[in-house]
Amino acid sequence: MKKKQVKVKVKRKALLLLSGGIDSPVAGWMMKRKTYDIEAIHFSYEPLTDGLPEEKSRRICEILGIKKIIVIRISKQLKEISEKINRKYYFVIQKRLMYRIAERVAKKLGCSFLLTGESLGQVSSQTLQNLAVIDQATRMVVLRPLICFDKDEIVEKAREIGTYEISIGKEYCDVLGPEKPSTQARIEIILEEEKKANVERLTEETIKDMERGRKL
């Protein structure tokens, strides 16, 4: 006797990790045209950097028709991480922290997915090995519509949708990064490194600070 299949209805709503750079706006645009409802989260590095990335992200949301953007400052947390871990793993642990926070925000907003502008191999954190380790920071499905795009293709699409001129400029995400980051991180090592900085505590503190300052 065949078991009755139960259809599970999943909300087509995703939380876009929006940096203000070239890639993530294109990812957001691609999913919106697939009828996904997109909301955005921007991780600010102020006061380690200026407020330009946040300004860019807000302007990009206007162009893409994204009505809600959550801005969270994580410079204090990232500085603590960079001081306590083996810094060659900084970019992987940085992304894992962002995924943890984004997952919590996504659930509050009723999103079923995280959405990023990552593409394979463009930077050290985007090797297959490192992406696999980063993904283990969340139970939420991560959508990566640009995964097999090269940079020229992404730039061409950014020009087409009108976000390129806003997105170009200095990159800020590597402000605390090492000169020679790991490209083949292993999960068991990353978990030990995260204990040194108590990343779980940093995640909880960030969420509490955000909830005190803004209702989602």
Tens digits of pLDDT across the chain (216 residues): 555 555 555 568 999 999 989 999 999 999 999 888 999 999 999 988 888 999 999 999 999 999 999 999 999 999 999 999 999 999 999 999 999 999 999 999 999 999 999 998 766 778 999 999 999 999 999 999 999 999 999 999 999 999 999 998 776 667 777 888 999 999 999 999 999 999 999 999 999 888 776 544
Burial 65-79 (b: 16+ CB within 10 A, else e): ebeebbbbbbbebbe
What domains are defined for the chain?
A: 13-213 (3.40.50.620)
How many Å apart are CA 121 and CA 182, to the nearest integer? Answer: 12
Provide the 10 A C-beta neighbour count for residue 93.
27
What token pair was written down for 40? 């955005």
**Residue 26: which residues within 8 A CB-CB, separation 6 or more?**
117, 146, 154, 157, 158, 161, 163
Laid out side by side, the sheet with 37-44 consists of 69-73, 37-44, 13-17, 113-115, 141-143
Please report, as a single letter, which amino acid is at residue 191.
Answer: L
Residue 122's pLDDT is: 64
- Nearest Cα neighbor of 103 from 127, 129, 130, 135 is 135
* Phi, psi (degrees; rounded to nearest 5) at 169: 130, -170
Q: Which long-range contacts (CB under 8 A, 24 or more apart) does 118-124 make?
A: 118/23, 118/144, 118/146, 118/147, 119/23, 119/144, 119/146, 119/147, 119/148, 119/149, 119/150, 119/151, 119/154, 120/147, 120/148, 122/23, 122/151, 123/91, 124/91, 124/181, 124/182, 124/183
